[in-house]
Amino acid sequence: MPSLISDADRLGFESAVAHAQQSYDEGGVPIGAALVWHGEEGSNVTTSDGDSDVGSRVIGQGHNMRIQKGSAILHAEISALDDAGRQKPDVYRNATIVSPVTS
């Protein structure tokens, strides 16, 4: 039977779950997020660590830090977008944000 999700989305899901676990372990809200860029032939994306690639990859990841830092805005999705850094609009058009909740 074929997989129900792509390899890129599976990678994003696994990254987001790991970050949700990290938040839980820190005593925070157990929500993680990952921004997965699906790639595009002839287009490059720069990751937060300065690498460039044309294939699908996680370009940003993070977890909820509202309790840990006493902030009303540090949601997991904001953390993942911040980690991805500034990207061109075509990168966001070809990206998916994954944000599962663990307990």
* pLDDT tens digits, 10-59: 899 999 999 999 999 999 999 999 999 988 644 555 544 555 555 789 99
Reduced DSSP (H G I as helix, E B as strand, rest coil) percent helix, strand, coil of the chain, to 5: 35, 20, 40
In a domain, residue 60? The reply is yes
In a domain, residue 88? The reply is yes
> Contact at 8 Å (CB) between 64 and 23?
yes
Active site residue 77: yes
The CATH number assigned to the domain holding 20 equals 3.40.140.10
In a domain, residue 62? The reply is yes
Is this model's pTM higher than 0.85 or not?
no
Domain that residue 24 falls in: 7-98
Q: Name the residue with higher pLDDT: 6 or 32.
A: 32
Query: What is the C-alpha end-to-end distance of the chain, expressed in Å?
Result: 29
**Cα angle: 62, vertex 68, 70; to 5 degrees:** 110
Cβ–Cβ contacts within 10 Å for residue 71, how many? 12
In total, how many domains does the chain have? 1
- Where residue 8 falls among pLDDT bands split at 50, 70, 90? confident
- Where residue 9 falls among pLDDT bands split at 50, 70, 90? confident
In a domain, residue 2? The reply is no
Active-site entry in 14, 40, 41, 77? 77
